[in-house]
Amino acid sequence: MSPENDNDSYNDSVLSFMLSENIRGRFARIDKSLMTILSQHNYPEKVSRLIAEASLLTVMIGQAIKLRWKLSLQIRGSGPIKLIAVDYFAPKDNGSTADIRAYAKFDPEKLNTSPKSDLYLLGKGFFAVLIDQGVGTEPYQGITPLTGDSLAKSAEKYFEQSEQLPTAFKIIVGQNEISENLRDGVGWIGGGMMLQQLPKENHYKLSSDKNLKENNILPKTNDSDSENWCRTNILMNTVEELELVGPDITPRTVLNRLFHQESLVLFDSQKLRFGCSCSIKKVARTLSIYSSKDIMGMITENGDVTADCQFCGHHYVLDTNQLGFKAQG
């Protein structure tokens, strides 16, 4: 735990908190990291908005993973937007900064329709969370269909079906003319809050039953648990948009206003920044899955192979010797 910190008033941080013995929450703001993500490509506004929402969800979900782990959110659809991919890299050490990166694939010609909701742009698809614990471990993967009228609703459904954890999100993203990080005079900012009801010890035993998992039955809660969950959700939904995005009011002040009658415990905030883990070695490793015939088709007039990182836009030039063979003249 830590005292009020003025630096928390600004974005690019996640603040964790507890409301009772089994309700946890997170308050996230993104600004500079989001603008860096969006500046890598010339995204239309509709795509930028969904990337911002996905990034907010990812940093709130990812804050729970252990040091050096990686959490990825992948949203794939059949609509004009084919893919939104966000990676959250947990800090390497306590007190250090977490990294986030994201990109999207879309069909620009089909974006001009007037969607009934954001998810219309994605069409039918799935919401997937992947956790990489490092070398020598099996990655965890959970997948649920896209549902509802927003990515937040799909995230709530994911936790309900895959984790059996009641979860609620409140997020807001938008363009901000007074942001320090401007592109064409307009910056993007976002703020969000997450509540999650954790099972007590006896609830863990219930949720571990195979039949309960297969039938997506949530762990049973007593009347007191249900009342606490409903009350805290009502309180969260009273938060105002400007309170979520700041910067004039700190997350700690907002949480104290919302939950001052609850057993609120605040923890240290986790700082965020844009960061990409790409490297020439990783590019060479990716290209190694292609046959020599395929690689020959990629060779440029200069006799090398080029590749661009989708996340950060870095341009790599590889000599064919780096790929394990020599180009034929």
Q: Are 125 and 207 members of one domain?
A: yes
Q: Are 300 and 174 members of one domain?
A: no
Q: Are 231 and 284 members of one domain?
A: no
Q: Are 173 and 24 members of one domain?
A: yes
> Mean pLDDT score of the chain, rounded to an integer?
84
Range of the domain at 65: 6-274
Q: Where are the strands (E) in the chain, listed by range?
A: 13-20, 23-30, 70-77, 81-89, 98-106, 125-132, 140-145, 167-176, 187-197, 265-274, 304-308, 315-319
Classify residue 251: in a domain, yes or no.
yes
User: Considering the entire predicted model, what is its pTM?
Assistant: 0.84
Classify residue 306: in a domain, yes or no.
yes
pLDDT of residue 322: 67
| Residue 52 · residue 31 · CB < 8 Å | no
Q: Are 317 and 197 members of one domain?
A: no
Q: Are 137 and 16 members of one domain?
A: yes
Classify residue 329: in a domain, yes or no.
no
- For residue 312, the domain's CATH number is 3.90.1280.10
Q: Any idea of the CA torsion for 307, 310, 312, 316, to the nearest 10 degrees?
A: 0
Q: What is the pLDDT of residues 95-154, one digit of tens each?
A: 899 999 999 999 988 887 656 677 789 999 999 999 999 888 888 999 999 998 899 999
Which tokens go with 7?
Answer: 């630096």
Q: Is the pLDDT of residue 204 over 60?
A: no
Nearest 5°: CA angle at 241, between 61 and 86? 30
Classify residue 59: in a domain, yes or no.
yes
Name the pLDDT band for 285 (thresholds 50, 70, 90).
Answer: confident
Q: Give the whole-angstrom CA distance, residue 142 versus residue 73.
A: 10
| Residue 151 · residue 75 · CB < 8 Å | yes
Q: What is the CA radius of gyration of the chain?
A: 22
Tally of domains within the chain: 2
Q: Are 288 and 150 members of one domain?
A: no
Query: Residue length, the chain?
Result: 329
| Residue 192 · residue 12 · CB < 8 Å | no
Q: Are 160 and 229 members of one domain?
A: yes
Quick one: DSSP state of residue 322?
A: G
Q: Are 226 and 308 members of one domain?
A: no
- CA max distance for the chain: 77
Parallel, antiparallel, or unpaired: how do β-strands 70-77 and 265-274 relate? Answer: unpaired
Residue with tokens 């992948």: 74
Classify residue 1: in a domain, yes or no.
no
Q: What is the mean pLDDT of residues 162-188?
A: 77
Which tokens go with 119?
Answer: 């998810």
Q: Are 71 and 45 members of one domain?
A: yes
Q: Are 164 and 299 members of one domain?
A: no
Q: Are 270 and 284 members of one domain?
A: no
Q: What is the pLDDT of residues 232-268, one digit of tens each?
A: 999 999 999 999 997 789 999 999 999 999 999 999 9
- For residue 66, the domain's CATH number is 3.55.30.10
Parallel, antiparallel, or unpaired: how do β-strands 140-145 and 315-319 relate? Answer: unpaired
Tell me the percentage of the chain whose pLDDT exceeds 90. Answer: 57
Q: Is the pLDDT of residue 328 over 60?
A: no
Classify residue 153: in a domain, yes or no.
yes
